[in-house]
Amino acid sequence: YDLDDEPETTDLKEMAPDQILKAGGVDPRTHYLVQVNADGSQTSYKDKGDQPIKMKCPRMKFISVLNGPTPVS
């Protein structure tokens, strides 16, 4: 699978969103996971950090999203 365009690997058949974030070095206390589906739609796992996701091929794509307001510079 990919997290934020970085390749990651697992032998697990299921992973929780928080596990995926942690494996990619992202803090699940400050971020949540979004799955980018093959058709371009997105599935949010906000407030669902322990919900199992079935890991499958072809390569799944995920992005991390910062919780809370985005600072303006």
User: What residue type is 21 in one-letter code?
Assistant: L
Which pLDDT tens digit goes with each residue over 53-66? Answer: 999 888 899 999 99
Confidence at residue 72, expressed as pLDDT on a 0 to 100 scale: 67
* Average pLDDT taken over every residue of the chain: 93
| Phi–psi pair at 21, nearest 5 degrees | -60, -50
Which pLDDT tens digit goes with each residue over 31-52? Answer: 999 999 999 999 999 999 999 9
> For strand 2-3 and strand 61-66, is the pairing parallel, antiparallel, or unpaired?
parallel
pTM of the predicted model as reported, rounded to 2 decimal places: 0.89
Confidence at residue 9, expressed as pLDDT on a 0 to 100 scale: 92
For residue 32, give every residue at least 6 positions away whose Cβ sits within 8 Å of its Cβ, in sequence order, or none: 17, 21, 44, 45, 46, 47, 49, 64, 65, 67
Nearest to 34 by CA among 26, 22, 42: 42
